[in-house]
Amino acid sequence: MPSCLPIRALANLVDMLACVSEPSAEHRGSAYSSAGVDYEALDAGKRSALAEAMATSGLLGTLGGRAVDESRGEPAFVFELEGKSFGFVVEGLGTKSIIARQVQDQLGVNAFDNVAYDTVAAIVNDLCCVGALPLVVNAYFATGSSEWYRHEERHAALLTGWREACVEAGAAWGGGESPSLPELVHAPEIELAGSAVGLVPGGRPAILGEALALGDEIVLVDSNGLHANGSSLARLIASRLPDGYATPLPSGRSFGEALLDPSAIYVNLVRELLAAEVEVHYLSHITGHGLLKLMRPRRELTYTIRSLPDVPEVLAFLAQRADMSPSAAYSTFNMGCGFAVYCAQGSGDQVATIASGLGLKARVAGAVEQGPRRVVLEEVGVTFESGDMDLGPSR
């Protein structure tokens, strides 16, 4: 099991590194920008693309379908056909597969099953945020050279991990694409991505946040490590360590192996919540942007979190080595928060109990309150304002 640090221990650690006033949004992204990732530019590109995509929504009507444009900017696109709601998503792993290759080169550990599992987790966890349970997952394996497949043990691990994650999510692996892209992809590497389509069961509408209300409880479900976000910064940190990925963490585990712990899959939690008819008003997969994702809905509501989970030691290590303030850490990494369930007041304990029955640790962490669109993390003294993140289409 991955090791964790109590949230107060992490807060004390990063406070020593950042005894200054809260940094601006630009400063919060500086550590990740140094690793080549600029969320401001990426988000602007996404908003522009979504605005163009909306111009095609009417084409679904030619086959009797309807695009649910309210889902634009949500983790998955929703469309309706023959009285049923479907979700569709395309997602990628990012640069974590490079970590897997580097760890194998340095430590001799083959973790390509884990990064394949991570990729499927990233896909299906986004899909189930709209209440859609995955039906089919497709794979995209792009290599810089077809020689990648001559490493038979690595290839076998990749396929095993992908299949096991599909089984965990209850989805058929439909197929996919495996192009060789010399020059576009660096020869030793593989880019992992995929897509999925899912069905919102029982004739329900998709979960898009319209029902969010004052007093709703926010249940945070633990992550178990890096998951699929922050790999570029992790690679930068590893390159600066004298022992690289072999650097021991406080628990004695190597930094590299801890980075490659497989992500949690939350599909079965959503499946059980829907089956139990828990009044769920919104779901958020905490990946890129960290806990900024708690205010993904474009609603003038304040999301106040009073109880944060313990931080996996690998994320605490990264935050320390990157000299990140609490604000920067919690807007970059998941910091122990893998998934958020927003449910009707009084339902939070039931959500946490259902999660526990699936082997997931969860707590009623906060509530939806009156106020401007913002996230308040009371334990670490951080507030994120509305302008810090907007993933909807350009207006």
Query: Tokens 């005894």, residue?
Result: 19
For residue 203, what pLDDT is reported? 86
For residue 117, what pLDDT is reported? 98
For residue 55, what pLDDT is reported? 84
Could you tell me the pLDDT band of residue 27, with boundaries at 50, 70 and 90? very low
Number of domains in the chain: 1
User: Residue 63 falls within a domain, yes or no?
Assistant: yes
For residue 211, what pLDDT is reported? 96
For residue 214, what pLDDT is reported? 98
Q: Residue 215's Cα: distance from chain center in Å? A: 25
Tokens at 382, concatenated: 């951080």
For residue 11, what pLDDT is reported? 44
Q: Cα separations (Å) of 152 from 107, 110, 159, 186, 195?
A: 18, 11, 11, 19, 25
Counting Cα atoms < 13 Å in the Cβ hemisphere of 63 gives: 9
- CATH number of the domain that 262 lies in? 3.90.650.10
Mean pLDDT of all residues belonging to the chain: 90
User: Residue 393 falls within a domain, yes or no?
Assistant: no
| pTM attached to this predicted model | 0.89
For residue 13, what pLDDT is reported? 40
User: Residue 395 falls within a domain, yes or no?
Assistant: no
Give me the mean pLDDT over the 119-146 stretch: 98
For residue 50, what pLDDT is reported? 73
Domain housing 362? 4-388
Could you tell me the pLDDT band of residue 53, with boundaries at 50, 70 and 90? confident
